[in-house]
Every structure is written in structure tokens, then in C-alpha cells.
Structure 1
Amino acid sequence: MRTRLRFAALPLVTFACPAMAQETSDETDEPTIVVTGQGLPDTPASPAYGTVEVPRETVLIAPSGRIEEALASVAGFQQFRRSDSRSSNPTAQGVTLRALGGNATSRALVTLDGVPVADPFFGYVPFAALIPEQVGRIAVTRGGGSGPFGAGALAGTIAIESLSPETQAPLGMSVLANDRGGTEAVGSVSAALGRGHASGTVRWDRGPGFYTAPESQRVPASVPAKFDSISGRLRVVAPLSDDLELQARVLAFDDARTLRFDGADSSASGQDASIRVVGRGRWQVDALGYVQARNFSNLVVSSSRFVPVLDQRNTPSTGLGGKIEVRPPVGPDHTLRLGIDYRRAEGELQETPISSFTGNITARRRAGGVTSDLGVFVEDDWQVGQLILTGGLRADRTVIADGFFRESDPDGAVVEDNRFADRSDWTLSWRGGALLRATPSLDLRAAAYRGLRLPTLNELYRPFVVFPVVTQANADLANEELRGFEAGLDWRPVEGVELSLTAFDNRLDNAIANVTIGPNLRQRRNLPAIETQGIEAGLRVARGPIRFDGSVSYSDPTIAGEGASLALDGNAPPQSPQWFAAASLTYEPKPDMLLSLSLRHVGDQFEDDQETEVLPAFTTLGAYAQVPLVGQLKLVLRGENLFDETIVTRVSGGDLDLGAPRTLWAGLRYGF
């Protein structure tokens, strides 16, 4: 039985520093110090890599109220499953870009205020832990790269920034309910703390959910996908000097879900803490350290007898890391970045298979290990007139150690005890690009890169079952490596109109995939490569009270098979649609009054590497309306999947799982 986190007992992080104890006085000549709560600014050549910004408004007006839907406005963004963080297993929330496939582990690096947020054991992104109301902006860069934590930025980087202190309302509240009895509640407080700033936010989402099984496939044991998640965050920002700023954050969450059958419960929980120091003087500095404590449990229910058959009762894991980046003053034409970063993940699974006939435990299993990555990087942007050149190198020492798999019988006698050899390696990655300001309205850009991803503990050591398919782990997995290049343009033909176009070619060597090796049997293996070429386009138009934002991408991913994987050669990788498209139309006739429609399309994709199971394309329409009432109080109406489109999220032997049907929300919002 999961335990509800006691948010009232969260430690309030305070720091004894003179800057926070001093009060501003009109009688002194001390300069005003403004804390930003942000990291160092983007470098001049950042646009060379085709970064797309998701503004705060897009996050706040998402019809579902979820961050993952706001990210889906960038064509090419994809989770492993098509369901969102209310109706999927948490471990299926791996994030990738550019249809590079996946096996539920993230191939894109997701950070919050510079700190990686992926689960240390599984590699999924805990979207239910992220609070949309506290997001300031999101920058999405498709394509691999170097820089801090670059070893995780295989398919790209999704950098989430918190709301800056000057834009925080002293009090924010939001309460909404939907037509199935689900609720969403958020509360936030913010206040000056000496010359610094402190804020705290709690969000609670719960609901009875919907049936993920089609009506024709429901049985007496079928139940709606109920969910109950709570997340709380404390953040402190304080000046240490005129150009040195301290940022500290504590986050805790607890997320419980039930999927398809009564008793098929899962729970993900965690506590994260980070400290960051940002210096904006002549020598710019960005230094941070973080620690994550996470856990996951899951009860697997037989789809034939509808009783528990596997209790994944405990998966404790710990992640820790940090970075130091320095930008020395090397002249107005250069922006030089030097740095070092470190990431370590440790964890193990603890599970017990259960007889579906007797209900007795048949075995006890434990498996886990440690992975780590130490990286050093250097990057320079050089401005020559209207041309900006950029290039960076990164060296990573990756370690996989202390791996084990142990199984005993119910009485404790050891049946299997495997110890896997430690491994380490050095890998050199790089990226380079050019940005030409061809005219005041036209930018031309090109980039090439090589990226790296270390296998997760989940991929290395944890087998799992999605009945009737068994997927084996593989302790011998090699690192994934991506090589790619792209070219594009950004054109602003008239004021208020922005058009972007990018063509890319990526090759993912040693791609880790769930490979079919027998009837209802798969194993995680390194494929020789996944190759994908494609085009991405974006259009933004702002005309008075009307705004349009559209994005579309087409890619053609294929598996390059040879040897044991020769039969897969030319197949599309699983979970990799060719077409993505998203568009939104927003009308804001006056402040705080807003109406928005959002359209999203995802093309056909295959469930498996044999191309035998197809997940059909879908198109959904969502809506958001906001009407001011009194002061900062607003009426909010939201609609998800208004045409009640059937969204198939999983198919296995004819059995389907479905995504969210039409859902209508209504409520009040204050301060946000």
C-alpha cells in the first residue's frame, strides 16, 4: 500500500547568508539587486541548432492541463506511449524526438532549471511531478549535442525554466473539475525574502479515469484508469553579491494509477533537491548539484485469470550529479564555455512472481547496479560580422558497475545468482554549427553533431511482462551513439510572421530496442542502427488579438539490420510515426479573456519490430476558454478530444488500450 507524502513535513530550505538578512532601505545608497532565478543566458549561436520555444501561455492553456500536451505543440515530440501521465504506466513516459523510436527510455535530455529530471533507474520523465503553473518557458532543441549533461541529449534537449520571481503572483489558486468526476487543484504562494525570493506550490490531480479497454473487450475485472497524484515544490532565490545568485529547490511527488484491471496498481514517488549558484560578472559561472531519491511499484494482473501474477513491490533508486560551467571573458566576439559534469544512478528492483492458481509467491528476485558518467566539455561561439560560428567537444567516461541478478525460491534458497562484469569507456562527441544573418528578415543555419546515451539500469537488468509478451533484460548492452546533420532557415517576411524550416539526417548506432527473438518473447538488444531523414516546419503568426502557431514534421525512420537482426532490415522502428502535426489558434480580445483551439495529428505507427501490429493515426481537437470575473479571478473552461477520437495506445494480439476520450473541464483560476 502506497503512503501519501506528508507535504507539511517537507523541509523548508533556508540559507544563512547576509544578503538574505538585509532589508532594502531608502536611506542607503546600495544598488538594487534583482534576482532572476534563471541560469546563464543562451549563447549567440544557440539559434544555429534550431531551438523552438514553448512559451508559458502554451503551457497554461493546454486543454488537458498537462505539460506533455504543451510539448506536443512541437512536432516530433513523442512519449513512448500515446497516453498521457494520467492513464499510462509511469515507466512508459520515455521522451524522444524525430521519430527515433525507443523502448520507454528517454532519448532526449529533459532538465528543470538545468537539472536532469529523468528517473535514475528507468529513464522516464515523471511529468506528474512537474507543475505547469510554475513553468516560465521551455526550449526544445531537436538533434544531439554536447555541453552540460550532453551524454543524455541523444535526440535533443528539452530545457524547462521555472517562472522568474518578478512574474510570480503573491497568491495563485486554480480548481477545476471534469465531467467524469476528476479534479485538479493548485495552490501557490510567493514572497520576498530579504533581497531574495521564496515560493511554494502544491498541485493535486485525481479522478476515477476512463476505461482504457474498448467496450467489446471489457470483463468484470475491467476498471477505469483512476489516478491520484500530488506534487509539491519549494524554491528559494537569493543574491550572494551584486552579480552572484543562489537558487535552491526541493520537490516531492507521489503518483498512483490503476491500469485496465482491478488491482493493477502502480505507484511512482520521489524527492529531489538541488542547489545552483549563478555568477553574471566578467567571469560567468553556472554551478549546480542535485540528488534524487525515487521509487516505483507495480502490481501485474493476469489478463486471463484477472489475479495478481507479479508484484514489483519496490524499485528504489538514487541519482546524484552536478556541473560547473565557466564562461571566461575572451573578448566581445567570442563566447567560450568550459565545464565538467557528473551523473550517477544506483538502484535495484525487488519483485515476487505469484501463482495465478494458488496466489502463493513462487520466487523472489532482485537485480540492479550502478551507472555513472563523467564529462568534460568546451564550446566556443565566434561572431564574424553577420556570421556566427560555433563548435564544441565533449569527452565522457562512462561506467557500468556492480550489476547483478539474483533469484531465490520462496524459502530463500538461491536459484540463480549472476554477477556481471564491470565496464568503462571513453567516448568523444562533438557538435558544430553556423548561423548567417543573411538579411534582417532571413537567418540561414546548419549544424552537425555526435551524441551519446548510456543504457539505463532498467534496460540492463530488469525483465518485464506485458501479457502475453515477455521482454528480457540484457546486461551486455552497449552505449547508443547518434551522428547527424541538419540545415534550415528562419524567415520573418513581415512583422508578426515567423517561418522556420529544417531538413535533417540522423543515424542512431547501437540503438537499444525490444527485439523479437521468439513467440511472445523479446529481449533488449543493440540494433546496428536506426536511420531517419526528414523535414520540420513551423509557422507563427500574430495579428492583433489573433495568434496562430503551427508545426509539422515528416520523417522516414528505418532499421538498418544485419546478422541476428537482418530480418528487421528496412522495417520501421516501433513507436515511430512518420507524421506529426500540431496547430493552435488563439483569440484574445482583451486582457485575461482568451479562446484557443488546438489541433494535433499523429500518424500510423507500429507496435512491434515485426510490423505486425499497427497503431492507427489519430487527430484530436482541444479547446480552452478563459473569461475574467472579478479582479484576477477567471472562469476557465477546457475540452479535450472534443470529437471523441479513438486513440489506440497499445495493441497486442487484438487487445487494445485506448487514450483519453472527450473530457470537459470547468473551474476557477486566480493569480496565474
Structure 2
Amino acid sequence: MKNTIAQSLFGTTALVLGLVASSSALAADAEAPTAMESADAGPIIVTGHGLADSPATVAYDVETIARDELVSSASGRIEDVLASVAGFQQFRRSDSRSSNPSAQGATLRALGGNASSRALVLLDGVPVSNPFFGYVPFTALAPERLSSVRVTRGGGAGAFGSGAISGTIELMSAGPETLGAFSGTALVNDRGGTQGSVSTAQTLGKGFIVAGVQWDRGQGFWTTPKDQRVDASARAAYESLSGSLRAVAPLGETLEIQASALVYDDQRTLRFEDADSSASGQQASLRLVGRGEWQFDVLGYVQAQDFSNRVISSTRFVRALEQIKTPTLATGGKFELRPPVGADHVLRLGADIRLVGGHLAEAPYSTFTGQQTAFRRAGGDQSDLGLFLEDDWTLGNLVLTAGARADRWTIRNGFYRELDSQGSLSQDTRHPDRSGWDGSFRGGALWTVSPAIRLRAAAYTSLRLPTLNELYRPFVVFPVTTNANADLAPEKLRGYEAGVELTPAEGLRLAVTAFDNKVKNAIANVTLDATTRQRQNVDAIRARGIEATAALTVGTVSFDGSLAWTDAKVEAQGIQAALDGMRPSQVPRLAASATLGWRPRAGWHLAATLRHVGKQYEDDQETDALPAATTLDAFAQVPLAGPLALILRGENLFDETIVTRNQSGSMDLGTPRTLWAGFRVEI
């Protein structure tokens, strides 16, 4: 896989370098890539991002994570950074070193219940979630390569809005003005694990090119409690490698082209020897941004991803299932147009499309004989064509926004095929094709009462298609099997929210949002008996709650805090009536974090983060609890000489016991106390 990554990067580098060189030749020479003057043509602006935010962006519940926060987490992982945003959660509490990749969905607003993402995650405008499973490849998203992250909670109706049923997480890559010519980090932890990253950003004519590589490796920690370990138990060993390449060049005064590539490979071992998983992917995108009188944003992308997993019996400790491969291909893009309709009016018109095809190949094994007992394949295709419109008006201190989206979706070519141990066909099921049109809407208002007070309100609907994984792939967390369901209906969201933002003094910001969100036909892992679950549509998951944030800066000291309190319940009847009123699995009632930072002088940065996650339940029946956990993390950057700085990090300094899985007392644990030390160079 490492050779594949190197070859992919080399080929893309040649392509992008040629693109940048030829594009830069179209414009006059300049001194900097971000604000340049041409004697003949006037200013040429190269940003590396999409079109500017519309005035109504802040009418919704938005939090922005700045670069300083991105590069100062205790773990160096993006999911740890996002955990400081009120309402963000993964399906399990594990990070991307010690969980199965397929369990790493991203969700906001306590709308959980299974491992698929209900939040839309974008990297420079491109959806990054695995097209088959819906999980986010967190190990591929290095915080050091980002300039900022914006989290918008609540359903979306704009581009790719069909994936934004609980919100949108937008990751923006950094350019030369942020990264400098060269930066690198190398760290080691107290268990011998290593983490290293290198990035370079170079100007080429009036454009620029950025390349980065990150490599993590370690023997990991014991996820199995000491009193439950057996001879076959293993540490959560991991090795991940990701590389990215990005180039931006002007094609004229107001026209910019952007090309990006991302490749990654992630290997993990969980609970038992040989219980290995592998996730890999390659993606590339091309984007054309026009900032003239008629503004436009055209984006196209392709993604190829794969996943494999070996399930080990927890009673006989031998192979029970080999999930050999899950190759998936997704292609898509968007077109957005902003016609010139006036200084106080922004109109967005556009369309997007996403095409997905994938299948699994797996083989069950007898835990007594060790022989393969069958061979299975299952999968299908999906498509989603969206047409969207959004209109923003600024009327003095009042900003109004309204948007609509129509989705034409299809689910096609679904199949399940099984051969017995002799190679004879034992089952061949073809699932009927389905399609439909669905509309979604959102609207909001922002009223600036005074420089210190802003009030906002919003309402929205949204749509999420079941993933191919939910439709066709069963999975096993031994001894529990969760079966797929090819008849799943799309989820549909209805939500309302209202908030207030206060800036009563310089350096102080307070924000509170109350929300009521309801997902109809919510897909959940429903218990059928002691060892069997199935993905089913329940009537609804309703989440009502409060999200609060606070930020204070006094001289060299800063404080950032967030809190999410959510009353989330399942609404069910008929054969699912026993679930009515239950909290969705893996959803806490309370989550909070607070970060205290100090920058005594230039180059210094000291920070500590206290984080609390309330009690969760492993299952839909509320029988197996995951106790509340409170952790303390720390980060320190101390300048040494010139561009060299000492980096010290500490995860879970209290060594809190974090239960991430509990099935009738069989448990997995999260990250114990972990200490890191190393160096950072920035030139």
C-alpha cells in the first residue's frame, strides 16, 4: 500500500505541477500568492478556497475552530479537536487508533443510534465519508494540514445537503501564508508509539502547491480490561499513513483553479491477535472558482476506498469471519452560480450529484474445524441528484435567508449471493430497485440588536439515504450479529432552533442555542434476541436540548468552553413498542469541555482541556451502560532555538477508565494516560 501511495502522489504531483505552471504563465509575475498586483490586469487574488460565505451563514448554529486549536490537541487527531464542539460525537468513544474504522461515524445533536455519519464532512468542499459505510477516515485528515474547521449544527439544504441531516463539518486546507515553506513534527509516547508529519508549501508563479505526509505507528494499549484478558488478547496496535497534495493557480483576474489529491492506508488490531482491520482510499478533485460579477464554483471528484476486517471468536479465539474486501467507488460534483443581484442580496443556484457503487466479499469459518464454510457477496448502487436554491437578504440589522432543495435518489442493483463450502450457489437474492423525489427546506433570520447582542432563529428539513452498508452488509461484534436490511427507507429530519449571541465586553463571547430536532424513519440497530440485531427504521428519534459556548481572552490567557445537554428519545410503536421512550444507543445526555490556554510570550503555548461525557448505553434496550467519564488533557509548546520548539502532550492525565463497549459485561476501554514528547520545526 505504501508503494501505491507513493505512486499516486508522484503521478498527481506531475499533473498538478504542470497545471500550476501553465496556469501561472497566464498571469503576470507577482510577489505573493494571496494578494498580487498585475500592471495590466489589476489585482489577482488566490485563496485556495471556495466562494465567500454568504451573509446568512451565521444565522445558523455555527462554531469555528481556529488553526491554533487544531495543532494543539493532546492526541494530534482531528476527532479529538472536534470533541470540543458541543454536540459532536462518534458512535463510540474510541479514537481512530483503537476502534474499528467502520464505527467512526460523525454525528451532531445526539441523533445517533448506529455508526453511520449523520453529519456531512467536507474537505475543501469534497465529501470525505466512506461511500459504502458512512464512516469518516479520521486518520487521513491531519490537523496540521488545515487552516480552520467550521461546524454548522442543524440540517442542511445547500450543496450535498442530503448528507447533512444533523449538520455540516467543513475542513479548510491551509496554504503557504499559514504553513510557511516547511513544517514538521516528530513525537514519541510512553508506550513507544510514534507520530510524525511533514508539510511543505511553495509558491509557483502566482499560484502555490502544498504537499504533506503523516505517519503514525504504535503497539497501542490494552483495550480489554485486565481481568478479562486471555492468551489471545492483544493491544490495539495501529499504523496509518496519509499523504496529500494540493495546488492552486489563477487563470485570470477573477478565475482560480484548484486541484487536490488524498491517499491513505490504515491498519489496526482490536482485542485479539489477528483481529485485524484495514481501511484505505484514494481521492482526487478539481475545482474552478470564479469571483467576477457572475460568481461560480464548479467541483468534480472521484473516490476509491476499500475496507477489510477479520472477526475472531471471543470463546474459541480463532477466525470466525473474514471480511475480505469492500471496494467502493464514488464520483460526484457540484455547480453553484451566484448572479449579480445587488450588494445586499446573495442568490445561490446550483446542482450536485453523487454516484456510489460498492460490494463486500466475505467468508465465514467454522470455529471448530477452521475450514471456510461459505463465500458471500453483497452490494449495490446509489445515486443522488440535488437541485438547490438559497436566497439571502440584508435589511439593515436584519439578515433573512431561505433555501430549498430537491433530491432525485435511486437505490439499484442490490444483491446478496452465497456459495456453500463446495462452491455451489446456495442463495441468490436480487433486491428491487427503488427511486424517489424528496424536497427539503431551510430558513433563518439574524437580528443584530446592538453590537453586543445578536438573536437568531432557524427551521429546516433534510434527507439521508441508508448507506450500502446498512442496506446489504451484516457485521459481527462477537457474539452479537447485526443484520442488514435491504428495505430501509430514507431518514427525514425536521428541526427548529433559536439562539442568542452576546459580546458584553471585549474578548468575551457567549452563545446559547435551544433546539428541537426529529428524525423520522431513523435507522437504528434494533435488538431481536440476545445475539441478534437488525438495522430497522424506527418511527423517529427526537432530540431536544441546549448547546452553549463561551470564549474569553484576557491578555495572554484564553478560555473556551462548550456544553451540550440533550434529551434524546426513540419514538416507536407496534413490534418496536418496547423501544418507545428509550435513549438511542451511544448517546449521552450531557457532554462538556473546557480549555484554558496561556501564551506568556511569542512561540509559547500552554493549554489544558477538561472534558466530560455522560452515561451512554451500548444497546437500544438500555441494558448495558457505559459509565460517565471525565478526562484531562494537556499541551505545551516551548521554543528552543530558531524554528525548533519542544512539544509535550498528555492524554487522559487522570487515567480515567473510559468504557467504549459493554456487551453483558464484556468490555472495551478507551485511551488510558498517554504521554508524548517531541519537536516541531516551522520555517
Tell me, yes or no, whether TM beats 0.5. yes
Q: Distance in 1 between matches of 2:515 and 2:633?
A: 30
Q: Within 5 A, what are the aligned runs for 1:275-314?
A: 275-314=286-325
Distance 1:25 1:350, change over 3 A: closer
**3-state DSSP of counterpart to 1:241:** coil
C-alpha contact (below 8 Å) 1:559/1:569 kept by paired residues: yes
Task: Name the stretch that deviates more: 530-539 or 19-28.
Answer: 19-28
Task: Report the equivalent of 1:498.
Answer: 509
Q: C-alpha displacement at 1:164, in angstroms?
A: 2.8
Residue 552, structure 1, aligned to residue 563, structure 2: yes
Residue 24, structure 1, aligned to residue 24, structure 2: no
Task: Report the equivalent of 2:6.
Answer: 7
Query: What stretches of structure 2 of length at least 5 have no aligned partner?
Result: 32-36
Task: Report the equivalent of 1:210.
Answer: 221
C-alpha contact (below 8 Å) 1:188/1:200 kept by paired residues: yes
Task: Report the equivalent of 1:201.
Answer: 212
Q: Distance in 2 between matches of 1:611 and 1:316?
A: 35
Query: What stretches of structure 1 of length at least 5 have no aligned partner?
Result: none
C-alpha contact (below 8 Å) 1:4/1:254 kept by paired residues: no
C-alpha contact (below 8 Å) 2:5/2:263 kept by paired residues: no
AA partner of residue 518 (structure 2) = R
Q: Distance in 1 between matches of 2:106 and 2:402?
A: 26
Task: Report the equivalent of 1:132.
Answer: 143
Residue 469, structure 1, aligned to residue 494, structure 2: no
Q: Distance in 2 between matches of 1:95 and 1:6?
A: 26
Q: Distance in 2 between matches of 1:369 and 1:157?
A: 26
TM-score by length of 2: 0.97
Q: Distance in 2 between matches of 1:539 and 1:384?
A: 28
Q: Distance in 1 between matches of 2:405 and 2:384?
A: 12
Q: Distance in 1 between matches of 2:397 and 2:460?
A: 23
Aligned equivalent of 2:328, options 310, 317, 333 = 317
Aligned equivalent of 1:381, options 364, 384, 392 = 392
CA deviations over 1:611-654 (Å, ceiling 9, x no partner): 10001100100000000011111100000000000000001121
**3-state DSSP of counterpart to 2:55:** coil
**3-state DSSP of counterpart to 1:557:** strand
Task: Report the equivalent of 1:509.
Answer: 520
Task: Report the equivalent of 1:671.
Answer: 682
**3-state DSSP of counterpart to 2:221:** coil
Residue 70, structure 1, aligned to residue 81, structure 2: yes
C-alpha contact (below 8 Å) 2:547/2:565 kept by paired residues: yes
Task: Report the equivalent of 2:663.
Answer: 652
AA partner of residue 442 (structure 1) = I
AA partner of residue 60 (structure 2) = Y
Task: Report the equivalent of 2:34.
Answer: none
CA deviations over 1:593-616 (Å, ceiling 9, x no partner): 111000111000111011100011
AA partner of residue 59 (structure 1) = L
Distance 1:8 1:405, change over 3 A: closer
AA partner of residue 315 (structure 1) = T
Q: Distance in 2 between matches of 1:38 and 1:607?
A: 40
Q: C-alpha displacement at 1:192, in angstroms?
A: 1.1
Aligned equivalent of 1:589, options 588, 600, 612 = 600
Task: Report the equivalent of 1:570.
Answer: 581
Task: Name the stretch that deviates more: 98-107 or 490-499.
Answer: 98-107
Q: Distance in 2 between matches of 1:265 and 1:623?
A: 31
Residue 97, structure 1, aligned to residue 108, structure 2: yes
C-alpha contact (below 8 Å) 2:378/2:415 kept by paired residues: yes
**3-state DSSP of counterpart to 2:251:** strand
- How many matched pairs? 671
Q: C-alpha displacement at 1:19, in angstroms?
A: 3.1
**3-state DSSP of counterpart to 1:567:** helix
C-alpha contact (below 8 Å) 2:211/2:245 kept by paired residues: yes
Q: C-alpha displacement at 1:459, in angstroms?
A: 0.1
Q: Within 5 A, what are the aligned runs for 1:419-568?
A: 419-568=430-579
Distance 1:611 1:550, change over 3 A: same
Task: Report the equivalent of 1:229.
Answer: 240
Q: C-alpha displacement at 1:169, in angstroms?
A: 1.1
C-alpha contact (below 8 Å) 2:562/2:594 kept by paired residues: yes
Q: Distance in 2 between matches of 1:478 and 1:214?
A: 39
C-alpha contact (below 8 Å) 2:30/2:206 kept by paired residues: no
**3-state DSSP of counterpart to 2:144:** helix
AA partner of residue 190 (structure 1) = A
Aligned equivalent of 2:424, options 396, 408, 413 = 413
Aligned equivalent of 2:640, options 623, 629, 634 = 629
CA deviations over 1:33-83 (Å, ceiling 9, x no partner): 331101111110111102111111111000011000100110110000100
**3-state DSSP of counterpart to 2:391:** strand
**3-state DSSP of counterpart to 1:493:** strand
Q: C-alpha displacement at 1:308, in angstroms?
A: 0.7
Distance 1:496 1:8, change over 3 A: same
Task: Name the stretch that deviates more: 160-169 or 400-409.
Answer: 160-169
Q: Sequence identity, in percent?
A: 57
Q: C-alpha displacement at 1:165, in angstroms?
A: 3.3
CA deviations over 1:195-221 (Å, ceiling 9, x no partner): 110111000000000000000000011
AA partner of residue 442 (structure 2) = R
C-alpha contact (below 8 Å) 2:313/2:479 kept by paired residues: no
Q: C-alpha displacement at 1:3, in angstroms?
A: 6.6
AA partner of residue 636 (structure 2) = A
TM-score by length of 1: 0.98
Task: Report the equivalent of 2:199.
Answer: 188
Q: C-alpha displacement at 1:132, in angstroms?
A: 1.0
Q: C-alpha displacement at 1:9, in angstroms?
A: 4.9
